[in-house]
Amino acid sequence: MQEAIKATYVVLQKVLQKAEFWKMHAATILNERQQKMINRLFNGFTGKLTTTKWGKICKCSQDTALRDIQDLIKKNILHKDPSGGRSTNYELVEMPATNN
Q: How confident is the model at residue 98 (pLDDT cuts 50, 70, 90)?
A: low
This prediction has a pTM of 0.84
Give, in order, the Cα–Cα distances in Å from 96 to each of 21, 33, 39, 93: 10, 25, 18, 9
The β-bridge relationship of strands 90-92 and 78-80 is antiparallel
Is the CATH number of domain 29-92 1.10.10.10?
Answer: yes
With a pLDDT cut of 90, the percent of the chain lying above it is 68
Q: Please name the residue ranges forming H helices in 1-100.
A: 2-24, 32-42, 51-58, 62-74
Q: What is the DSSP letter of 2?
A: H
Reported confidence tier of residue 100, pLDDT bands at 50, 70, 90: very low
Q: State yes or no: pLDDT of 97 exceeds 70.
A: no
